[in-house]
Amino acid sequence: MIEVTNMTGGYETKPIVDHVDFQVNRGEFFGVVGPNGSGKTTLFKLMSGILPLWEGEVVIDRKPLEHYPRKQLARKVATLPQVQQSFFSYNVYETVMMGRYAYQSGFFKQPTERDKEVAEQVLEQTGLTDMYSLPLDHLSGGERQRVYLAQALVQEPDILLLDEPTNYLDFSYQKQLLDELKQLSLTNHLTVVSIFHDLNIASLYCDRLLLIDQGQITQIGKPEEVMQKPLLERVYHSSIDVHANPTLSSPQMNLLPDYFLDKTRTAIKPELVEATEEKVLVRTPSCLKPFHQL
Ligand SMILES: Nc1ncnc2c1ncn2[C@@H]1O[C@H](COP(=O)(O)OP(=O)(O)OP(=O)(O)O)[C@@H](O)[C@H]1O
């Protein structure tokens, strides 16, 4: 369990994350959402000890973060940062194996049979087995993202902190990755705390969401408690529409482009032109798209 109390911190003099309190339960899939610059990444840096706390504390499994020795913390918490830079061209296997450093001891740090077993299993899980000998700079952005995720997973952490894990991934890999993480949270009780920009994805996969704005918590709760039109419109300064997912319980949102809004910023209802058993034709604001076939 992660307990964050009165967490405050930043970079210079002004706090970026300001007196924040929340808890994440073991095995929970917990999403952090909020506009650009709201403090999501800074919150992660404070939670993982990359940035020092100015005030408050982070307690992981009843032990304050600063009491964890480095290697013990790496076995407990693995992170996938937003931007990964590789200055040397390691191959996929070498990069993934670096995640095992917390389990290696001695001067030469040769991988053990167990290290190799875990690495192979994770390469399989992340669909990287066939690429294991390729240098990282020969991979696409999405493939590289999967390598770094694999590097975090071989740490066999209890807690995974992910900063926009679906960056660069096409929708099929997004689904594959999130299904895998969800499964790990359900069966292995892996705690997943992840930043998302895509509110619909966050709503589909997360047990609870934390909405942050200007360094403070605006709302925390189940997706239906956070995915509320007035709240999201206020925080994101955008016109949106929130509706029930037709097949699942998670609420989903649509952006409302300005050309679909009238002078009072209300969505213009499409005009029904023709409805037969095979098709429905509607007319939307005529200047742009005369017809939509549904
Ligand atoms: N290294 C830094 N030094 C100084 N200020 C920083 C630094 N990193 C971030 N900031 C500032 O902190 C604020 C919050 O940044 P942060 O990266 O936490 O936001 P975010 O919610 O993750 O944004 P995004 O959605 O764009 O990734 C921003 O105003 C940013 O300019």
The radius of gyration computed from the CA coordinates of the chain, to the nearest angstrom, equals 22
Distance of CA 279 to the CA centre of its chain: 38
Which of 16, 47, 164, 217 gets mutated to test ligand 1 (max ligand atoms within 8 A of its CB)?
Answer: 16
Of 19 and 293, which is predicted with more confidence? 19
Same domain, 218 and 263: no
Q: Are residues 101 and 212 both part of a single domain?
A: yes
Number of domains in the chain: 2
Higher pLDDT: 64 or 259? It is: 64
- Do the domain assignments include residue 205? yes
| Probe target for ligand 1 pocket from 8, 17, 33, 41, with the most ligand atoms within 8 Å of CB | 41
User: Does 251 map to a domain?
Assistant: no
Q: Does the residue 221 lie in any domain?
A: yes
The answer to whether residue 231 sits within a structural domain is yes
CA pair distance 284, 60, nearest whole angstrom = 52
Assigned domain for 250 exists:
no
249 within a domain of the structure (yes/no)? no
Structure tokens at 181: 């993480």
Q: Quote the CA–CA distance of 205 and 32 in Å, as a whole number.
A: 12
Residue closest via CA to ligand 1's atom 6 equals 11
Q: What is the pTM of this model?
A: 0.86
Q: What is the mean pLDDT of residues 100-117?
A: 78
Alpha carbon 204 to chain centroid, angstroms = 12
Same domain membership, residue 274 and residue 130: no
Domain range for 192 is 2-244
**Residue at 279 is within a domain:** yes
Q: Is residue 202 part of a domain?
A: yes
Task: Please tell me whether residues 70 and 155 are part of one structural domain.
Answer: yes
Q: ipTM above 0.90? A: yes
- C-alpha 282 to ligand 1 mean position (Å): 43
pLDDT attached to residue 233 = 93
> 278 and 218 in one domain?
no
Are 99 and 185 part of one and the same domain? yes
Is the pLDDT assigned to residue 273 strictly greater than 80?
A: no
Q: What distance in Å separates the CA atoms of residue 143 and residue 211, rounded to the nearest whole number?
A: 29
182 or 283: which leads in pLDDT: 182
Q: Check whether residue 206 and residue 289 sit in a common domain.
A: no
Chain-centroid distance of CA 103 in Å reads 26
One domain for residues 115 and 232: yes
Q: Annotate 191-204 with DSSP letters as a single string.
A: EEEEE-S-HHHHHH
